[in-house]
Amino acid sequence: MKLVRFGKAGSEKPGIVDADGVIRDVSSLVTDFAGDALNPRNLAKLKKVDLKSLPAVRKGTRLGSPVARPGNFIAVGLNFADHAAETGATPPKEPILFNKAPNCVQGPNDDIVIPKGSKKTDWEVELAIVIGKKALYVEEKDALSYVAGFCICNDISEREFQAERGGQWMKGKGSPTFGPLGPWLVTPDEIKDVQNLKMWLELNGKKVQNGSSNTMIFGCAHLVSYISQFLQLDPGDVITTGTPPGVGLGMKPPKFLKAGDTMRVGIDGLGEQNQKVVAWKA
């Protein structure tokens, strides 16, 4: 299934994309795509519903994040071998983890706002994992059974805040609008091989990232298992898993986002995002 949340920001309703690409309103069946509603057992029940019997959502309706605001928004750094190489970093021996602010989550096509004082706002197409049931001390062989689905994340990053202001990376990772998710949350049964998905990002119509999840250093199952050794993952938590090469920081000379730029972001089977970059205003 392809799960969506649609409507005005803060008032989204749950929907499912039917076989014809039409979004069907499932708010009569589930309150929101959050918490226990994301348990794979409950999603399996939704899969049996006759979507054609449910109201169609008007084409062009805004899409929000396909999962409600997460309790945890965990990110993995330098997790693609080719991206580590472009930054000159040594590939990590264990996953590098940091937090993104849960309130930076937004819809896939909402504007990206350059933060106040920013000079180095950057882009990162990423594959995001959404947890479907409580996960603690999970074995890698069982890890994907705890996953509700996968979606696109554009892990927007302010590189000066991240690397030049001391402390942890999260300074450059959590500004408002820095976590667009969607358009859909795709259930695992629709993805043949999550470790072999093409990933790309276009900036102003030019493809700048063109990679694959097959160059991840630590795969999705390993990450869910690994993170669960240190904290409890709850339904709706998001793990964004790293980016392939082609970010602005790695260019020679480096290139960063400016007001008026546009981005088109895609991953095989997970849809596309389209964003406009705007300046921060008081």
* Residue numbers of the domain that contains 258: 65-279
Residue 29: inside a domain: no
Residue 58: inside a domain: no
Q: How many domains does the chain have?
A: 1
CA distance 113 to 249: 18
Residue 141: inside a domain: yes
Q: Is the pLDDT of residue 163 over 90?
A: no
Residue 33: inside a domain: no
Average pLDDT over residues 201-230: 98
Residues of the chain above pLDDT 90, percent: 93
pLDDT in the model for residue 9 = 97
Give residue 170's pLDDT band: very low, low, confident or very high (50, 70, 90). confident
Residue 31: inside a domain: no
Answer whether 212's CB lies under 8 Å from 267's CB: no
pTM (2 d.p.) = 0.97
Residue 218's Cβ-side half-sphere holds a number of Cα atoms within 13 Å equal to 24
Residue 243: inside a domain: yes
pLDDT in the model for residue 90 = 86
Residue 203: inside a domain: yes
pLDDT in the model for residue 15 = 98
pLDDT in the model for residue 80 = 92
Answer whether 195's CB lies under 8 Å from 216's CB: yes
Q: CA nearest 97: which of 169, 199, 195, 179?
A: 169
pLDDT digits (tens, 9 = 90+) for 184-202: 999 999 999 999 999 999 9
Residue 168: inside a domain: yes
User: Domain of 247: which CATH number?
Assistant: 3.90.850.10
